[in-house]
Amino acid sequence: MEKYCDLLIKTNNQEEFKKIVYNIKKFGCEYIGFENDENKKKICEELNVKYIIRTKEYNIKEKNVLK
């Protein structure tokens, strides 16, 4: 079973977001969910973390499975 963590933390600080994503990955989550944000996508790709983009209503809009 894949582990999913939805980030409800709102931060515009990229270094802070990077630390959060790194720690979530360290705890074994395979997917991280957040509202659409290009900078957050880039950070996840840089850290080789799969992500799910959702709307504010928590509907999944886009699922990115890294190869």
Residue 7 in contact with residue 20, Cβ under 8 Å?
yes
Q: Confidence class of residue 46 from pLDDT cuts 50, 70 and 90?
A: very high
The C-alpha atoms of residue 9 and residue 23 are separated, in whole angstroms, by 14
Structural domain boundaries enclosing 32: 4-64
The C-alpha atoms of residue 6 and residue 32 are separated, in whole angstroms, by 6
In terms of Cβ atoms closer than 10 Å to its own Cβ (0-12, 13-18, 19+), residue 35 is: middle
User: Global pTM?
Assistant: 0.72
Number of domains in the chain: 1
> 10 Å Cβ neighbour count for 64?
13
**Per-residue pLDDT tens over the stretch 11-45:** 788 999 999 999 999 988 888 988 888 999 999 99
